[in-house]
Amino acid sequence: MSVTLKDVAALAGVSRSAVSRTFTEGASVSAKTRSKVEKAARELGYSPNALASSLTTGRTKLIGLISNNFHNPIFLEVFDQFTRALQERGLRPLIVNLTDETEPANSVRMLRQYSVDAAIVASSTLPPSFAKAFHDAGVPVVHTFGRSATSPEVHVVGIDNVECGRMAARELLARGYRRVGYLGGPEDATSALDRYRGFMEELADHPDIEVSHCFAGAYSFEAGRAEMLRLLANTPSEAYFCGDDILSVGALSALADHGLKPGQDIGIIGLNDMEMSRWESVNLTTIHQPIKQIITSSVDLVVEMLKEPQRYPEARIFPCRVIERGTLRPRP
C-alpha cells in the first residue's frame, strides 16, 4: 500500500539508515547518496511517516487545542489565528471540543494517548486547575485566556480580567452614569468572576453610585438577550458592562425590542472587540482584547516549552483599551 523507507532504500541501492538520514535535518549524508535517495523517493512518491518517527524521537509536533467556546463568534478569530500560527511553525492542531465537559481527565488521557507535544487550553471560563491537570500528567500546557495570577501554576497568556472590570467601571463613571450594572457571563466562569470583582472593587470607592449585577447562563447571544430582557422588565440601570461582546450584542437586541437606543437610553460597553462589534449595525463600544498578540505569544510560548519542558511557569498579561463607538454616551 504505502511506500516506506525500505522501498526507497531498495530502489536507491542504499541502506535504510541512509534514507532516514537524508530526510533528517543535520544528519551526515554525502551529496551523492542524497541525490540518489531523493531521486528514488520522488519516483515512488515517498514521504516519511511522522508518527513512526515520533516513536524514537519522542516528538509528534501534535499540539492539543482544547476549547469550549463554540457559541461565541470571537472563537472564529481565535481558532483561525491558532491554527495558522501553529501551522506556520510546523505544528499540528489536534482539536478537543469540550462542549459541556468540565473535567480534564478525559482530554488529558486522550491527548496523552496521541502523544501530543503540548496542549493549549483556550478558554476564559475554565479554572486554572483544568490546565494544571495537563501539567500534572506531564503534558506541557499553556492556558490562553486563562485567569491571570501573580504566581501561576501553569503558563497563562491573556488579559487581567480584574483590571478590565475596573476599566469598564471607570469608563462608565467618566461618562457620568450614576446607576450602573454588570451583566456577566456564567457564574462559574473565571473571567466572569474576575471581571465582576474588578468592576465592584472600583465602584466600592464610589458609594454614591448605585450598582447591580447579574450573570447570564452562557457567553452567547441568547443568554445576553434573555438576561437583558429580564432586566428591562424591572428597573434597569443607566448603563451596563457586559462581560463579553456577544452578550452585548444579545443585550442590544433586547434593547431594540423595547425601542431603546443604545448610547442614548441605555449605555452598553462590551469586552473583546470581535469583528462583529465593528459592524455598522452593531457599533459597539467595547474593551479591546489583543487577540492576535495573545495567540501569537501563546504559540511562541509553546515552542519555547518544546525546547525547555521544565520552563518556569509564567503569566503573560496583555493590556486592553477602550474602543469608542456608539453604545455609550460621550464623555462630558
Partner DNA sequence: TACAAACTTGCAACCGGTTGCAATCGGCAA
Partner DNA sequence: TTGCCGATTGCAACCGGTTGCAAGTTTGTA
| Contacting positions for DNA (CB under 7 A) | 2, 4-6, 14-18, 20-21, 23-24, 27-33, 46, 48-49, 52-53, 55-57
Quote the least distance from Cβ 86 to DNA, whole Å.
21
Report what 21 binds from a second copy, DNA, none; CB cut-off 5-8 Å by kind.
Answer: DNA
Residue 41: count of CB within 10 angstroms of its CB: 21
C-alpha 309/C-alpha 134 separation (Å) is: 13
C-alpha 172/C-alpha 179 separation (Å) is: 9
Residue 281 as a binder of a second copy (CB under 8 A): the answer is: yes
To which residue does cell 441568547 refer? Answer: 222
Residues in 130-169 that interact with a second copy by CB under 8 A: 138
**Cβ nearer to a second copy, comparing 13 with 309:** 309
Residues in 163-202 that interact with a second copy by CB under 8 A: none
Quote the least distance from Cβ 32 to a second copy, whole Å.
26
In order, the DSSP letters of 87-126 are: HHTT-EEEEEE-TT---SHHHHHHHHHTT-SEEEEE-SSS
Report what 212 binds from a second copy, DNA, none; CB cut-off 5-8 Å by kind.
Answer: none
CB 171 within 8 A of CB 148: no
C-alpha 99/C-alpha 188 separation (Å) is: 15
Residue 279 as a binder of a second copy (CB under 8 A): the answer is: yes
Residue 275 as a binder of a second copy (CB under 8 A): the answer is: yes
Q: Which of 6, 35, 42, 52 binds a second copy (CB under 8 A)?
A: 52
Quote the least distance from Cβ 60 to a second copy, whole Å.
7
Q: Which of 99, 150, 151, 310 binds a second copy (CB under 8 A)?
A: 99
**Cβ nearer to a second copy, comparing 210 with 222:** 222
Residues in 57-86 that interact with a second copy by CB under 8 A: 60, 62, 65, 70-71, 73, 75-76, 79-80, 83-84
Report what 234 binds from a second copy, DNA, none; CB cut-off 5-8 Å by kind.
Answer: none
CB 179 within 8 A of CB 238: yes
Which backbone phi and psi does 64 adopt, to 5 degrees? -70, 135
C-alpha 65/C-alpha 2 separation (Å) is: 29
C-alpha 217/C-alpha 224 separation (Å) is: 8
CB 117 within 8 A of CB 94: no
Q: Which of 17, 97, 129, 264 binds a second copy (CB under 8 A)?
A: 97
To which residue does cell 462542549 refer? Answer: 99
Quote the least distance from Cβ 13 to DNA, whole Å.
7
Q: How far from the centroid of its chain's Cα atoms is residue 80's Cα?
A: 11
Residue 56 as a binder of a second copy (CB under 8 A): the answer is: no
**Cβ nearer to a second copy, comparing 27 with 174:** 27
C-alpha 320/C-alpha 77 separation (Å) is: 17
C-alpha 188/C-alpha 151 separation (Å) is: 22
CB 195 within 8 A of CB 242: no
Report the interface residues with a second copy, using CB under 8 A: 1-2, 47-52, 54-55, 60, 62, 65, 70-71, 73, 75-76, 79-80, 83-84, 87, 92-97, 99, 109-110, 112-115, 138, 221, 225, 249, 252-253, 256-257, 275-276, 279-281
